[in-house]
């Protein structure tokens, strides 16, 4: 009984977006610890997911480049439908706060960078809903490139500084267009987590 009254309920779905190596998984992990300490029940998840489609995508990212690039838009989106309806929606129905790495904006940014029409991507994504909050994590492209170089497992898309800058700019443009919060992560991780937590708390209390 005592335990039950201590559990705080907030059914919120919060997505973290941004270029590679902007610290999405670190920030989500730290935020989940804070929320759990405050009594919330949290589900941490990510795209590409652990579904068979997600595993196929991760395998491709490590091994081979597939053509035409429309296949990426289709498979990332198929993985999204599977993941949303089988993992996220169920988590929300169980009263959890869902913290998710990457969602629709990743396909819009990365696959439009591959030359795929943005409107078509949006159409494909029509039947998966929008989250309660999307936070865009941002860092200087030079720092992202350094972090990418330090990573041991390299995915097949080598990202040069121009590509990284374009991806970053696309995220910043979308954030401005949609009024999404942007948090810079090229500084002390505790400061970043605190800023993110402040934004999230507002949404949890709303």
**Contact positions vs ligand TYD (CB under 6 A):** 20, 46-48, 61, 72, 76, 102, 106-107, 110-111, 155
Bridge partners (DSSP) of residue 182 are: 136
Residue nearest to ligand TYD (CB): 110
Tokens 């309660």 identify what position? 132
> Closest approach of Cβ 172 to ligand TYD, in Å?
17
> Closest approach of Cβ 171 to ligand TYD, in Å?
12
Q: In the numeric block, which tokens belong to residue 106?
A: 């990743």
11 versus 46: smaller Cβ distance to ligand TYD: 46
Is there a contact between 13 and 88 (Cβ–Cβ < 8 Å)?
A: yes
44 versus 46: smaller Cβ distance to ligand TYD: 46
> Closest approach of Cβ 46 to ligand TYD, in Å?
6
Give the span between the Cα atoms of 175 and 93, in whole angstroms.
Answer: 28
Phi-psi region of 102 (alpha: psi -120 to 50; beta: other; left: phi over 0): left
Is there a contact between 129 and 174 (Cβ–Cβ < 8 Å)?
A: no
84 versus 110: smaller Cβ distance to ligand TYD: 110
Give the span between the Cα atoms of 8 and 38, in whole angstroms.
Answer: 8
> Closest approach of Cβ 201 to ligand TYD, in Å?
25
160 versus 201: smaller Cβ distance to ligand TYD: 160
């Amino acid at each position: 009984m005592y335990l039950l009254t201590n559990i705080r309920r907030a059914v919120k779905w919060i997505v973290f977006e941004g270029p590679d190596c902007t610290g999405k998984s670190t920030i989500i992990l730290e935020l989940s610890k804070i929320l759990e300490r405050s009594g919330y029940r949290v589900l941490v998840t990510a795209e590409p997911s652990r579904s068979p489609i997600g595993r196929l995508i991760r395998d491709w990212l490590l091994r081979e480049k597939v053509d035409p690039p429309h296949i990426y838009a289709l498979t990332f989106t198929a993985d999204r439908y599977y993941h949303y309806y089988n993992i996220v929606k169920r988590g929300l129905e169980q009263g959890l706060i869902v913290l998710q790495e990457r969602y629709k904006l990743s396909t819009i940014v990365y696959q439009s960078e591959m030359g795929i029409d943005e409107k078509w991507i949006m159409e494909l994504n029509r039947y998966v809903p929008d989250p309660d909050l999307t936070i865009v994590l941002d860092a200087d492209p030079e720092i992202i490139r350094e972090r990418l170089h330090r990573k041991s497992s390299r995915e097949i898309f080598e990202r040069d500084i121009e590509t990284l800058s374009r991806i970053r700019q696309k995220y910043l443009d979308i954030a401005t267009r949609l009024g999404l919060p942007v948090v810079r992560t090229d500084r002390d991780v505790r400061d970043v987590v605190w800023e993110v937590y402040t934004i999230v708390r507002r949404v949890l209390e709303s």
